Each structure stands twice: as structure tokens, then as C-alpha cells.
């Protein structure tokens, strides 16, 4: 620990994908003006260099925190590196100065920090840095804020000093940031806010303006790719992610999100390769492990998928998607209680995700906890009242609990939402049969056969109606057609979502429906 010397050394903390150009521009200005400044241009810290980075906070009295749209979004993750840098600066009582762009929203401080830390941050001095007044803002920063002060600092040993010097030299060697690039940054930030607000088409338009101004803007290609992916344009997204990778080969998030887009077009091998590369570049990227687990699950590599889920949870125990993925794996290997526990944790972390309630409901049904299953499907319908499959599954649960009137109402709602599902007509016909409405049951079984001419259950069930109404020849005719197609039993209680079986089918098995992770824009 050294004291007695007044210095104005600076550590710059920033989020590369939201303010990389601005951070470099600030570094270049301060370095040109002979101020000792440290910037890690890679913004990915691994292994022993982690502590060296932290040591640079202790070695300099000033800590500049660059705040732009997206800077704080990942600060809810306990292992987030920007969060760690901020906490270390506060712990060491560095002189923190907030460098914020005109598009930054100070409400983000309340949204992404614990109350005490957020209050501390809002109490620090700050300076607005608009791109078109950058030089004036830098002069203000140097002359009014970065006054040499005597603040206790920690010296580093010679070996670490050599590594730090190499980092600084790497930052110095970067091309000078131009006014054009700062102008593109303004469009990028505006697009990000539109993106975050769900205005995807407008965001894509403004990201494109940023790219037009700066064709080497990897982050703009990346975020436009995410917006394309959210709009359902996977191929366009893949092209943008690929361009981002060409410009910046160490862009871990671009590999991560290209992997997800490739998964959407059923390129499992390509997705796995991209997730592997993302993890190689940034072993702390929890989403990459979770997404790779999803691919390995689809490939049937359950043991490796489970290991990936565990690593993702270790890195970020507050990430709901990884619990959903681990639940899928546990369900697949027959650990139903484990699957229920993980889906429950995912619901605790994200109580508005309808698919999680749907899948936990299926796990409850598999465990004969029909009342709990019905409760979960009630929640799915509340969140998404246009989900035909959930109405059908709840109808099955209600039938199992002898609420036949409720079952009829749900089957009818499912048919209103999806009138082409033969199984729903078959199941409603079975309940009408139980209620003694043979005419209504006959109509439903006939509709099921019309929609699926190979419906063995439809022929068998309609044959039973013909027998009870005395039409023996018609009954025999239907039963013969049943054997021509395939054997089945009454009733057929299946439910499908995304091509996966629902609560139970004729074989008595069940498989949860799933959705793969789509990371939010960075």
C-alpha cells in the first residue's frame, strides 16, 4: 500500500458489446494527454489475469464507469465481470466517475443493482458524453474531474506489471476511433432501446443505419441478428452473426446466438460447434453451457447435458432457462421428482413463462398428481388463453377427476382454437359417450375419422356407438377398419405440442414439450 503521492490514474470499466468504441475513444484521449489509464480491450477475463485486472482498480485512484444502454443488463448475474469491477471499486473507495451517453436510462441503476449499491452509484459524480461533443466532454473530464489526488494504492509485482504493460500496449495499438464510428454508436444505442422495447422492425432499421455508417460494427451486426431471430428470420440472423464473427473472431456472444439460430433450422452439429466455440472464448458464459445442454439433450447425450446444466447453474444460479433444460433431461431419464423440482425453481425465477407450467403439469400428470397438473394448466391458460393443447390436456385432467362437464367445456374450447386435431374430437366423443349422449359422441367420432382416416380409435369408438344403437353391420364395418389401420384403445388421451406427446398416449408414456433458449439482445 502506497500513499503520499498525488496521482490521477484511471481504470476504465465498460461493457464491450454496448460501449466498446466509446471506451477506446476515452482511453485514446486520456493516453494522448499523458494520463495513466488502463483498459482491457478484450473484456473477457480468465484465470490468473482476473486478479491482475482487480489489481489495476487498486493501483489507480479513479474508476470510470461507462454507462450506455445495455451496460448494466447482465449485472443481475452474480458472476458478471462489470458487476465485480464496480463492487471492487466501491470496496476500495476509489473515486468513481460515471461516464454516460445521452441514451442511457438511469432507471437501469435501480433495475439491475441491489438497493444499497444502486444508491451508492447514483451518488457518484457523472459527465454526459454525447458523440458530437466528445472532445469538449473529454476536456471537462480531464480538467475538472481527474485532479491528482492522494489515495492509497497497491503496487503490483514485476511479473504482473509486465502483463499489464502488454495489455496497455495492446489498447494503444488499436486504431483511433473516428467521429464516424461515434456517430454510428448513437444509432446503435437508439436501436438497442427500440429492441428492448419490442419494436423489432424499427430496431432492425436503425441497426442497419449504424452498419451503413460503420460497416465494421460487429456489435451492430450481432444485435440486428438477434432482432432478426426474434422476428423468425433465422437465416438472416445466421448471416448477421457470421458477419459479426468475421469482424471480431473472439465475439463469444455471436457464436452463442448463431448456435441458437442454427438450432432453429435443425442444424444440431452447427449449433453444438458454435456453443463449443463460445465456451472456449468465454468459459464464464453460463448461457452457452445451458444451450449446449439443450443440443446434447436433443442428441440423446443426457449425461453430458446434465454436466453442462450443472456448470451453467454454478456460474449463474439465477438463470431460469438452465433449470428448464435440466428438467427436460431429468424427465427423459425418468427422474420425475427432479424434473418437477427444477421446473418449480424455473417458475420461482420466472413466474410468467407459460411453457414451464405446461411441462411441470405433464410431470405432475405422469406422477398421478392430477389436481396439481390441472392447477398448472390453469396457469398456462391464464398466461396464454389461445393454447388449444393446454385446454385439451386440462380436459383430460378434468375427466380423470370425474369433472365431465368441465372436460367437455375444455375439449370444446380446444376445438374452437384448433379444429383440425382428430384426437380432440375423439376424446370429446368419449366423454359424451360417458354422459350418455350417443348422438353427440357419434358426430365427434365421425369427425375424428374424417380428419384422420387411419384413426383406429375413431373406428373402434364409432363401432361401439353403432353396436349400442343396434346398427350391428355398421359396427362390424367400423371394427374391421380399425384392424386395417392399427390397434388402439378407448379412449385416446394424448396431447401434443411441437410434435411431442402430451399427458399420456396409447402407450402410457409421456415426453415434455420444450423450447430452446433464445438469448436476449445484448
pLDDT value of position 499: 27
3-state secondary structure at position 494: coil
H/E run at residue 92 = none
- The SS3 call for residue 66 is strand
Distance CA 385, CA 272 (A): 35
Interstrand relation of 95-100 and 125-128 (parallel, antiparallel or unpaired): parallel
The candidate with the shortest Cα–Cα distance to 71, out of 103, 93, 27, is 103
Tell me if 203 sits within 8 A of 191, measured CB to CB.
yes
Residue 100: strand pairing partners:
67, 128
Question: How many other C-beta atoms lie within 10 A of the C-beta of residue 403?
Answer: 16
Which residue is listed with cell 396464454?
384
| Rounded Cα–Cα distance for residues 58 and 159 (Å) | 17
Q: What is the pLDDT of residue 501?
A: 23
DSSP 118-184: HHHHHTSEEEE--GGGHHHHHHHIIIII---B---B----HHHHHHHHHHHHHHHTSPPPPHHHHHH
Q: Where are the domains of the chain?
A: 10-172, 178-270, 432-491
Residue linked to cell 453430458: 304
- Name the DSSP class of 497: B
Question: For residue 244, what is the DSSP state?
Answer: H
Contact assessment for residue 343 and residue 363, using Cβ atoms and an 8 Å cutoff: yes
In order along its 522 residues, the chain shows pLDDT tens digits of 555 577 889 999 999 888 989 999 999 999 999 999 998 876 444 555 577 788 889 989 999 999 999 999 989 888 788 999 999 999 999 999 999 999 999 999 999 999 999 999 999 999 999 988 999 999 999 999 999 998 877 776 666 777 777 778 877 878 888 889 999 999 999 999 999 999 999 999 999 999 999 999 999 999 999 999 999 999 999 999 999 999 999 999 999 999 999 999 999 999 999 999 999 999 989 999 999 999 999 999 999 999 999 999 999 999 999 999 999 999 999 999 999 999 999 999 999 999 999 999 999 999 999 999 999 999 999 999 999 999 999 999 999 999 999 999 999 999 999 999 999 999 999 999 999 999 999 999 999 999 999 888 899 999 999 999 999 999 899 888 876 655 433 332 322 223 222 222 222 223 333 333 332 222
Helical spans, DSSP H, in 384-437: 388-400, 404-417, 422-434
pLDDT of residue 48: 54
Environment class of 303 (CB within 10 Å of its CB; exposed 0-12, middle 13-18, buried 19+): exposed
CA angle 409, 369, 296 (to 5 degrees): 100
Element holding 12 (H helix, E strand): strand 10-13
Question: What kind of fold does domain 432-491 have according to CATH?
Answer: 1.25.40
SS3 234: helix
Distances, alpha carbon 385 to alpha carbons 349, 359, 377, 513, in Å = 22, 16, 11, 18
> Are 104 and 69 within 8 A, CB to CB?
yes
Query: Residues 61, 118: contact at Cβ < 8 Å?
Result: no
CATH class of 178-270: mainly alpha
Q: Please tell me if the domain spanning 10-172 has the same topology as the one spanning 178-270.
A: no
Q: How far apart are the C-alpha atoms of 263 and 228, rounded to whole Å?
A: 15
First to last CA, the chain: 38
Strand, helix or coil for residue 432: helix
Give me the residues paired with residue 62 across strands. Answer: 10, 95
What's the topology of domain 10-172?
Answer: Rossmann fold (3.40.50)
Q: Is 78 helix (H, G, I), strand (E, B) or coil?
A: coil
Q: What single-letter DSSP state applies at residue 98?
A: E
CA–CA separation, 462 and 479 (whole Å): 8
> What grid cell was written down for 350?
420466472
325 in Cβ contact with 516 (< 8 Å): no
Tell how strand 95-100 and strand 10-13 pair up. Answer: unpaired
Quote the pLDDT of residue 47. Answer: 52
8-state DSSP, 335: -
Hey, what's the cell of 455?
384413426
pLDDT for the residue numbered 484: 61
Amino acid at each position: 500500500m502506497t500513499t503520499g503521492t498525488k496521482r490521477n490514474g484511471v481504470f476504465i470499466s465498460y461493457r464491450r458489446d454496448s460501449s466498446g468504441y466509446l471506451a477506446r475513444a476515452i482511453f485514446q484521449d486520456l493516453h494522448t494527454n499523458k494520463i495513466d489509464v488502463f483498459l482491457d480491450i478484450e473484456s473477457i477475463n480468465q484465470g490468473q489475469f482476473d486478479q491482475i485486472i482487480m489489481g489495476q482498480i487498486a493501483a489507480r485512484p479513479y474508476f470510470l464507469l461507462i454507462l450506455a444502454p445495455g451496460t448494466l443488463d447482465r449485472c443481475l448475474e452474480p458472476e458478471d465481470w462489470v458487476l465485480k469491477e464496480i463492487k471492487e471499486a466501491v470496496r476500495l473507495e476509489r473515486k468513481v466517475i460515471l461516464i454516460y451517453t445521452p441514451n442511457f436510462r438511469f432507471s437501469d441503476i435501480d433495475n439491475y443493482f441491489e438497493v444499497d449499491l444502486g444508491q451508492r452509484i447514483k451518488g457518484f459524480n457523472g459527465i454526459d458524453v454525447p458523440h458530437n461533443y466528445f472532445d469538449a466532454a473529454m476536456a471537462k473530464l480531464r480538467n475538472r474531474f481527474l485532479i491528482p489526488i492522494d489515495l492509497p494504492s497497491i503496487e503490483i509485482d514485476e511479473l504482473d506489471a509486465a502483463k499489464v504493460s502488454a495489455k496497455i500496449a495492446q489498447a494503444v495499438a488499436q486504431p483511433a476511433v473516428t467521429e464516424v464510428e461515434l456517430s454510428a454508436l448513437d444509432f446503435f444505442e437508439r436501436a438497442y432501446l427500440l429492441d428492448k422495447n419490442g419494436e423489432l422492425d424499427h430496431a432492425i432499421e436503425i441497426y442497419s443505419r449504424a452498419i451503413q455508417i460503420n460497416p465494421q460494427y460487429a456489435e451492430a451486426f450481432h444485435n440486428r441478428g438477434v432482432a432478426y431471430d426474434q422476428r423468425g428470420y433465422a437465416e438472416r440472423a445466421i448471416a448477421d452473426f457470421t458477419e459479426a464473427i468475421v469482424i471480431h473472431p473472439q465475439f463469444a456472444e455471436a457464436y452463442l446466438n448463431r448456435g441458437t439460430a442454427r438450432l432453429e433450422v435443425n442444424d444440431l452439429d452447427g449449433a453444438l460447434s458454435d456453443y463449443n466455440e463460445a465456451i472456449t472464448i468465454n468459459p464464464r458464459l453460463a448461457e452457452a453451457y445451458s444451450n449446449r445442454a439443450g443440443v446434447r439433450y436433443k442428441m440423446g447425450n443426457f449425461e453430458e447435458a446434465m454436466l453442462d446444466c450443472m456448470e451453467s447453474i454454478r456460474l449463474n444460479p439465477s438463470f431460469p432457462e438452465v433449470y428448464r433444460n435440466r428438467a427436460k433431461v431429468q424427465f427423459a431419464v425418468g427422474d420425475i421428482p427432479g424434473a418437477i423440482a427444477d421446473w418449480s425453481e424455473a417458475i420461482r425465477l420466472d413466474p410468467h413463462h407459460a411453457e414451464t407450467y405446461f411441462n411441470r403439469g405433464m410431470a405432475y400428470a405422469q406422477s398421478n398428481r392430477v389436481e396439481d397438473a390441472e392447477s398448472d394448466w390453469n396457469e398456462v391458460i391464464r398466461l396464454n388463453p389461445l393454447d388449444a393443447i393446454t385446454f385439451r390436456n386440462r380436459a383430460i385432467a378434468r375427466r380423470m377427476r370425474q369433472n365431465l362437464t368441465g372436460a367437455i367445456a375444455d375439449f370444446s374450447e380446444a376445438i374452437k382454437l384448433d379444429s383440425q386435431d382428430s384426437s380432440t374430437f375423439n376424446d370429446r366423443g368419449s366423454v359424451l359417450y360417458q354422459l350418455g349422449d350417443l348422438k353427440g359422441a357419434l358426430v365427434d367420432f365421425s369427425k375424428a375419422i374424417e380428419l384422420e382416416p387411419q384413426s383406429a380409435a375413431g373406428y373402434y369408438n364409432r363401432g361401439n356407438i353403432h353396436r349400442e344403437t343396434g346398427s350391428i353391420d355398421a359396427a362390424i364395418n367400423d371394427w374391421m377398419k380399425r384392424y386395417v389401420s392399427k390397434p388402439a384403445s378407448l379412449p385416446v388421451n394424448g396431447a401434443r405440442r411441437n410434435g411431442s406427446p402430451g399427458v399420456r398416449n396409447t402407450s402410457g408414456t409421456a415426453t415434455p414439450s420444450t423450447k430452446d433458449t433464445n438469448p436476449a439482445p445484448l
